[in-house]
Structure 1
Amino acid sequence: MKKKAAFVAQRSIITLAAGAALALALGGCVPLVVGGAAVGAGMVATDRRSSGAQLDDTNIEVRGAARIRDIANDNMNVTVISFNRQVLLTGTVASEADRRRAEEVVSQVDNVRKVYNEVVVGTGSSIMDRSNDTYITSKVKAQLVSQSDIFANNFKVVTERGVVYLMGIATRAETDRATEIARSVDGVQKVVRIVEIVSASELGTTTGGTGAAPAGSSSSSVPLPPMAPLPPAGTPAGGGATTSPVR
C-alpha cells in the first residue's frame, strides 16, 4: 500500500512538473476568457482555427455537455470535446442505446459538422484511470512543446483510458510527427488521429507563413490513410476515426 501511495505521489509530482513546463513554454500570454474558459492570447493568435470556429467550439462543448446532462443516468459518463466544429465523444455508458442517444443529442447542437463517437459500453473509469489519463495528456503536451520541428498548438490532446486522441488542423508530416511523439510516451495504448489535413503550400501561400488554416479548411479536408481499425472487443463499431496502434 505504501509503495502504491508513493507511486501515485510521484506520478502527481511529474504531472504537475509537466504542466508547469507546458505553462512556461507558452509563457508571456495574457489570458483571454472565451466562453468561460481562460485561453492564452498568444495561443488564440496562432490557432489555425478561425476565431468563429474557436467560439463555436466553446459553445458546442458547453451546449453538448448540457444535452448529455439532460439524458444522463447513473451509468452515463460522457465528455464532449470540439475542435473546428468536429466533436469527439469519450467515456462510458451502460448500453448501446445510451451510446447512440448521446451521439444523437450532441449532433443536433448548432454548428456541429461531425461527431466521432468513441464512447464505450462498460463500467466507468476509476480514479486511478483518470489520474493516469491526466498524466499521459500532460506528458504528451510537454513532449510536443519541447520539439523544434512541430508546433504544439496545432493539436488538441485528449486521453481516455490510455488512448490518446489528437485533434487538429495540420499537414500530413506534422500529423505523423505528432503521432510518433504521442506513441513514445509511457502508458499510451494507441493514438487516434482526428485531424484535418492541409498542405504546406496552403498554409504558406494563404497565410503568409503564419500557420493559420486556409479559409476553406473548415468545410473540406483530406482524410488520413487507412490504418489499423479500432479493436472490436468492447468498442462499438462506427466511430469513424483512424488509429495508429502503439507497436
Structure 2
Amino acid sequence: MTARNNAILILPLLCLLAGLSACAAIQPERSIGRELDDTNASLSIKSAMLRVEGFALDGIDVEVTEGIALLTGRVPREDDRLMAECLAWSSVAVRSVANEIEVGPTNGFRDRANDAWITQRVRGRLLSDRNVRSVNFNVETYAGKVYLLGVARSRGELERVSAQAALVGGVVEVISYVRIAGEPSDLPSRGERRAAACAGESMPGLDSDGSLPNSSPQLLGAAEGSR
C-alpha cells in the first residue's frame, strides 16, 4: 500500500481523535473526488488510444493529475503525436493536456528501468522532506526528464520540490505542471483548446457528441460534478 493510501486511511481516525479544526489543518489539498476523476480520465484516454485505428499509440503513457493529462513516450510519426493529444480530450475531467510525446524510436529496457529508478528516488526525497506534503504530488520520469504534477501549498513548497528532484542523479530536467493552491488559473476554455488540438475534426473512437462509447454514466457524472 502506498504512502498516499495510508494517509487517506488514517485521516478519518485523526479527525476523531483531534477534532475537526485539526483535521482541516492536515487535509491534503488534493480531494478524493478529484483523484477518482483523474483515475477515470486516465483509463478512458488509454482505452480510446487502444481503440483508434491507423495510429501507433501503444508506446504512450498517460497520467492525469488535477485534471492535467500528461502524455509521455515516443511515436513514429508527428500525426501519431497529434492524435494522442486530440484523444486526451476525450474525458470531460481533463482541463489541460501536456503533450510531452517525442517522435522517434522507443526507449529500450535499460532507459525505462533508469526512469523508474529516478522516479522512486525523487519520491523518496519528497517523502523524507518534512517541509513537503508529498501526498499532493505525482512524479513521472521519461528519458531522464522529471515531470511534477499535483498541488503545492505555496510557491516556496513547489520550488523546494523542484530542487529535491534536481538533486537526484540522472535527472536532466525538471518540468512542473503543479498547481499552486489559491492561485487562479489563466487557462483558456476547455472547448477552445480541444478544438485547436483536434483541428476541428471529430476524434476517432468517440461518439458523435464527443463522448466515449459505452462510457459509464457514473464516471462521467463524477467528472462533471468536480468541475
TM-score (norm 2): 0.69
Say which of 100, 104, 107 aligns to 1:125. Answer: 107
Which residue of the partner structure matches residue 48 of structure 1? 29
Runs of 4+ in 1 over 6 A off after TM superposition: none
Which residue of the partner structure matches residue 6 of structure 2? 29
SS of 2:43's partner is: helix
Which residue of the partner structure matches residue 77 of structure 2? 95
Question: Post-superposition shift, 1:175?
Answer: 0.5
Which residue of the partner structure matches residue 212 of structure 2? none
Question: Post-superposition shift, 1:29?
Answer: 2.6
Runs of 5+ unmatched residues, structure 1? 1-21, 31-39, 200-216, 224-237, 239-247
Question: Post-superposition shift, 1:70?
Answer: 1.6
Distance 2:112 2:178 in 1: 24
Question: Post-superposition shift, 1:136?
Answer: 0.3
Distance 2:95 2:147 in 1: 18
Shift in alpha-carbon separation, 1:27–1:93, aligned structure 2, 3 A = closer
SS of 1:169's partner is: strand
Distance 1:142 1:180 in 2: 14
Q: Report if aligned partners of 1:79, 1:90 keep a CA contact under 8 Å in 2.
A: yes
SS of 1:116's partner is: strand
CA RMSD of the aligned region, Å?
2.7
Say which of 64, 87, 91 aligns to 2:45. Answer: 64
Q: Which has the higher contact order (CA 8 A, sep 6+)?
A: 2
Distance 1:180 1:138 in 2: 16
Shift in alpha-carbon separation, 1:42–1:121, aligned structure 2, 3 A = farther
Runs of 5+ unmatched residues, structure 2? 13-25, 188-196, 198-227
Which residue of the partner structure matches residue 180 of structure 1? 163
Question: Post-superposition shift, 1:76?
Answer: 4.2
TM-score (norm 1): 0.63
